[in-house]
Structure 1
Amino acid sequence: MDRMDDAPAYPVGLRLRGRRVVVIGGGQVAQRRLPALLTAGADIVVVSPQATASVEAMAAAGEVRWERRAYRPGDLAEAWYALVASTDPAANAAASAEAEERRVWCVRSDDADAATAWTPATGRTEGVTVAVLTGRDPRRSAAVRDAVVEGLRDGSLVAPRHRERTAGVALVGGGPGDPDLITVRGRRLLAEADVVIADRLGPRDLLDELPPHVEVIDAAKIPYGRAMAQEAINAALIEHAKAGKAVVRLKGGDPYVFGRGMEEAEALAAEGIAVTVVPGISSSISVPGAAGIPVTHRGVAHEFTVVSGHVAPDDARSLVDWAALARMRGTLVLLMAVERIGAIADTLIAGGRPAGTPVAVVQEGTTAAQRRVDATLSSVARVVAEEGVRPPAVVVVGDVVTVGRTAGPSRG
């Protein structure tokens, strides 16, 4: 067979569902290539005296048929595609020659120049298949593939959908504040949005990356200041979704952790609007971590409890069993508690939590403005006042606060 010249390969997507594919060899190359062929629905026959444990498991599960022998002429009969990847050069050459004779597209793992097809570096995300060929430079192919797939996933490579979309709303948890801590899916949905309704506590830096046509609505739920009523937020979500727009409700942390996400989901469901919930990294664990505090630690705390402090312990609206929390030995993480930290600390001490229990307050965690102040239960109210701590801040109560002191410098 003549060697391939330097003409570029013609890219094409093979539809292999139900079609015979023959793999010569059961080693590492076959192990890497088989999952994609299975995903394509191919009818796969592996011809090899030995196979890796993973290939053998695929055969045992009935995903592939394994002929436990060496290649022999005729194995490529009725095949649509062949992958030649054995450790026997003579068998590879013979199988490649048979593929040429039968006009079966053939990939050679040992000799790309002798192959009639090349396997591109392939990645998939949200229904898009990215396949990259750079001739005889597979590492560059993989690097380009990774860059494109990552760009599509995180929204830095914007490729909006142009087909008609079903009206709906995505409730996206933006994480604790650092724009790098939003999930890949959340960032992609932001890049595809027509309308973004954003909380102050969401990752605001991401809004600057949105294209000019995207309408940004500030939910303005600012403590001690103006607030957009929840009913108005619900109405805006419904209005824009019914107009056929892709709507993202960008929230701080996780939509369902003190985020009123379920209220919004219920309002949308009542109007027959599809809702997608994208979980986010909650500040209850990420902010302490960013400040060097583990919420659990071997031999120190085997549990942690997250509590909202938006109402005082003696408020009739409180649903928290503060007496039970005071008796617990684990870590207590308080959100929205700065304004009422004095009453909360007094209640915990009265319930039996030692007055000297370490406390850390982390303001604007994970952002460039992050700062941490340390105190005890008996002194935390005074320290917060003296230091001028303002929301958003996370309060951590427990011995893990001192463990974290030796774990490295905190941010800010």
Structure 2
Amino acid sequence: MNDGTGIRGGNTTIEQALARLNFKPRQLEPGHVWLAGAGPGDPGCLTLEVLASLGQCDALVYDALVSPDVVAVAAGAELFYVGKRGGQPSMKQDDITALLVRLAREGRRVVRLKGGDPYIFGRGGEEALALARENIPFRVLSGLTSGLSALAGAGIPATMRGINKAVILATGHAAGTDDDLDWKAIARTGQPVVVYMGMANLPLISASLLEGGLPPSTPAAVIVAATTSQQRIVVATLATIAEEAAAAGLTAPALIVVGDIVAMRAALAGEP
């Protein structure tokens, strides 16, 4: 009998499902570091591997984008907050790496928890390389990357037959610098682009994509706090998205998506 809370016969339905799955997590050993992805924000997006790691660690090194509800799962761990949110005080990357090495050499069971996926604009590759050079045993636990799961949560399919044959994941952090992407070349592909860390440079990125030949009417959207109860979405055109996002008061962290796949949101919602 279900009483409306998900309880059946004294066991939760999720416990019953896990029992049927027969999931056996690997053990996090002392002196090891696991680089884990927390997904886009909603705790429901955690993988079983990441969830199990949080229950095993005694040291949790986590980013600003990780939900407090997810951090709370690591009830037996010492917490090390390192920031990593654009425009906010954060520990330097070299210091984070040094912290991971120190904790591992102290014999701690370490989880390094990041928003999204560690290997998608999360600097997980840099941390993994540093650990390898220091002969620290490590493992990478994938998370749902925000660039794709945020689209799903917003009702936008990342790929759609007849619309696109690829999707481009890009960082907007360096827009306008010597280290910038060639946005005009990206525009010429005609494929949708999902931009991480681009809110501060949205006017510049939009202008560059327009200069690259994308029509001003190209659908565009900004998604803030994807998959959470604070999620906000602004849909506009490439020509107006920067202005409309600013008018709505949207700020980082946010994802920007540009391309005809954005128009599918209204179609899937049954809007005219």
Normalised TM-score (structure 1): 0.59
Question: 1:77-99: CA deviations, max 9, x gaps?
Answer: xxxxxxxxxxxxxxxxxxxxxxx
Pair 1:348-2:212 in alignment: no
Q: Which residue of 1 aligns with 2:198?
A: 337
> What are the equivalent positions in structure 2 for 1:126-141 lying under 5 Å apart?
none
Pair 1:175-2:175 in alignment: no
Q: Which residue of 2 aligns with 1:315?
A: 177
Question: 1:238-258: CA deviations, max 9, x gaps?
Answer: 111111111000001110100
Q: Which residue of 2 aligns with 1:402?
A: 263
Q: Which residue of 1 aligns with 2:186?
A: 325
Given residue 269 of structure 2, which amino acid in structure 1 is its aligned partner?
A: G
Say if 1:336 and 1:393, in contact at 8 Å, map to a contact too: yes
SS in 2 for 1:339: helix
Pick aligned residue for 2:78 from 207, 210, 215? 215
Change (3 A) 1:145 1:178: closer
Say if 2:219 and 2:260, in contact at 8 Å, map to a contact too: yes
SS in 1 for 2:250: coil
Aligned mates of 2:128, 2:262 — CA distance in 1: 36
Question: 1:49-84: CA deviations, max 9, x gaps?
Answer: xxxxxxxxxxxxxxxxxxxxxxxxxxxxxxxxxxxx
Tell me how far 1:150 sits from its aligned partner.
7.3
Aligned mates of 1:144, 1:251 — CA distance in 2: 25
Pick aligned residue for 1:359 from 196, 200, 220? 220
Aligned mates of 2:18, 2:246 — CA distance in 1: 49
- Structure 1 unaligned residues grouped into runs of 5+: 1-139
Normalised TM-score (structure 2): 0.89
Which is worse superposed, 169-178 or 298-307? 298-307
> What are the equivalent positions in structure 2 for 1:7-406 lying under 5 Å apart?
146=16, 149=19, 165-211=29-75, 213-312=76-175, 314-318=176-180, 320-406=181-267
Aligned mates of 2:126, 2:222 — CA distance in 1: 29
Aligned mates of 2:251, 2:264 — CA distance in 1: 25
SS in 1 for 2:199: coil
Say if 2:83 and 2:91, in contact at 8 Å, map to a contact too: yes
SS in 2 for 1:396: strand
Given residue 279 of structure 1, which amino acid in structure 2 is its aligned partner?
A: S
Say if 2:38 and 2:117, in contact at 8 Å, map to a contact too: yes
SS in 1 for 2:102: helix
Given residue 162 of structure 2, which amino acid in structure 1 is its aligned partner?
A: G
Change (3 A) 1:237 1:150: farther
Change (3 A) 1:242 1:151: farther
SS in 2 for 1:241: helix
Aligned mates of 1:197, 1:154 — CA distance in 2: 24
Q: Which residue of 2 aligns with 1:73?
A: none
Given residue 205 of structure 1, which amino acid in structure 2 is its aligned partner?
A: D
Say if 1:360 and 1:396, in contact at 8 Å, map to a contact too: yes
Aligned mates of 2:19, 2:67 — CA distance in 1: 23
Change (3 A) 1:206 1:154: farther
Given residue 156 of structure 2, which amino acid in structure 1 is its aligned partner?
A: I
Q: What fraction of aligned residue pairs are identical, expressed as a percent?
A: 36
Tell me how far 1:406 sits from its aligned partner.
2.1
Tell me how far 1:151 sits from its aligned partner.
10
Given residue 317 of structure 1, which amino acid in structure 2 is its aligned partner?
A: D
Say if 1:154 and 1:187, in contact at 8 Å, map to a contact too: no
Tell me how far 1:262 sits from its aligned partner.
1.1
Q: Which residue of 1 aligns with 2:7?
A: none
Say if 2:223 and 2:234, in contact at 8 Å, map to a contact too: yes
Say if 2:33 and 2:112, in contact at 8 Å, map to a contact too: yes
Change (3 A) 1:152 1:354: same
SS in 1 for 2:80: strand
Between the two proteins, the alignment pairs up a number of residues equal to: 261
Question: 1:293-348: CA deviations, max 9, x gaps?
Answer: 01111111221111100011x31012x22221111222111111111010011011
